[in-house]
Amino acid sequence: MSWYENPVKEPLRVPTAAIWTVCPKCNSYIANEEWAASCKVCPNCNYHARLGCRERVKLLTDKGSFREINADVGINDPLKFKDASGTYANKAKAAAVKAGIDESVLTGTCKIEGSPVVLCVMDFKFMGGSLGSGTGERILLAAERALKLKRPLIIVSASGGARMHEGIVSLMQMAKTCAAIAKVKEAGLPYYSVLTDPTTGGVSASYAMVGDLNIAEPKALIGFAGRRVIEQTIKQKLPDDFQTAEYTMAHGFIDHIIPRKDMKAFLAKILQYAGF
């Protein structure tokens, strides 16, 4: 019985994550190659997973055309904020390591199918994509660069709202960014706003909703206050699709819902239509 007495070798085990991605929405198992090829969109339920800012830049821009600007603009800590979990400064440093960017927005110049633009892309991984003074300053400077170069401005939003660690300074960025965008429009340059999951709070109440065209990804969460806050305030049950891109479009707040794989082509089309 030597075959029985010999020790059994441990079988080769490949971690599931090395082969499959599990869709957070429908729990389908999707081969990692297919997940990457679909731009992190579930082929079964059309769930659009969140993208980092550099992933989004790669998806939308012509290869090698993106040039980052305003990288030296970082966070401001006017309140020297801290709570039981630590200081704001330390949280921002940890967020920078996680997101690979030291503010919640990446700004730069680029081309989209040959059309030159100034592009701002928010990253939810950096402190929930919150709007801080550094975020607002980068967007202001990007708008000024669009004016100088006479290029359209595009902002891709992904945010939980204002960064309350900075108090009123954060809230001031709502007016500051909208004023900068108003100057872009006054100069006759287009401003296109792309809303991704989620676009909420002070961002949805400011620059995300003032585009010449407001464009969203399917099923993106778009709103101001959260569902629970609203329900507790008005004492009513909200519709299941409340604050989805589809609900928001049906009520006149956005103009188009474009699948992720078609977004670059759509932006290129409207840029060319505008003469760029």
Residue 255 and residue 150 in one domain: yes
pLDDT band at 253 (very low <50, low <70, confident <90, very high): very high
Report residue 26 as tokens: 């429908």
User: How many structural domains comprise the chain?
Assistant: 2
Report residue 106 as tokens: 């990446």
Instruction: Flag the least confident range among 91-100, 176-185, 192-201.
Output: 91-100
Residue 69 and residue 200 in one domain: yes
Q: Which residues, including other chains, have CB under 8 Å from residue 158's CB and lie 6 or more apart?
A: 50, 122, 123, 124, 129, 196, 197, 198, 199
Residue 58 and residue 134 in one domain: yes
Residue 56 and residue 169 in one domain: yes
- Per-residue pLDDT at 13 exceeds 60: no
- Per-residue pLDDT at 14 exceeds 90: no
* Strand 115-122 versus strand 105-112 pairing type: antiparallel
Residues 60-76, mean pLDDT to the nearest whole number:
96
| Residue span of the structural domain in which 39 resides | 1-47
DSSP 113-178: TTEEEEEEEE-TTTGGG-B-HHHHHHHHHHHHHHHHHT--EEEEEEE--B-GGGTHHHHHHHHHHH
pLDDT band at 18 (very low <50, low <70, confident <90, very high): confident
Give yes or no for a contact between 117 and 276, defined as CB atoms under 8 angstroms apart: yes
Higher pLDDT, 15 or 157: 157
Q: Which phi and psi (to 5°) does residue 21 adopt?
A: -115, 135
Residues 45-56, mean pLDDT to the nearest whole number:
95
Residue 32 and residue 152 in one domain: no
Residue 266 and residue 172 in one domain: yes
Q: Which residue has the tokens 């969460």?
A: 221
Q: Which residue has the tokens 């190659």?
A: 33
Give the pLDDT of residue 17.
73
CA separation for the pair 130, 150 (Å, rounded): 28
Residue 37 and residue 84 in one domain: no
- Per-residue pLDDT at 10 exceeds 90: no
Domain of residue 241, CATH code: 3.90.226.10
How many Å is the Cα radius of gyration of the chain?
A: 21
CA separation for the pair 175, 83 (Å, rounded): 28
Q: Which residue has the tokens 């977004």?
A: 263
Share of the chain above pLDDT 70, in %: 95
Share of the chain above pLDDT 90, in %: 89
Cβ density class 168-190: b for 16+ within 10 Å, e for less: ebbbebbebbeebbeebeeeebb
Report residue 78 as tokens: 């006017």
Residue 71 and residue 92 in one domain: yes
Give the pLDDT of residue 135.
98
Give the pLDDT of residue 4.
55
3-state secondary structure of 61: coil
Nearest in space to 261 (alpha carbons), one of 51, 111, 55, 37: 37
Q: Which phi and psi (to 5°) does residue 106 adopt?
A: -110, 130
Region of 27 please: left (phi>0), alpha (psi -120 to 50) or beta: left
Residue 158 and residue 40 in one domain: no
Residue 29 and residue 72 in one domain: no
3-state secondary structure of 42: coil
* pLDDT tens figures, 26-47: 988 999 999 999 999 999 999 9
Average pLDDT, the chain: 93
Residue 30 and residue 87 in one domain: no
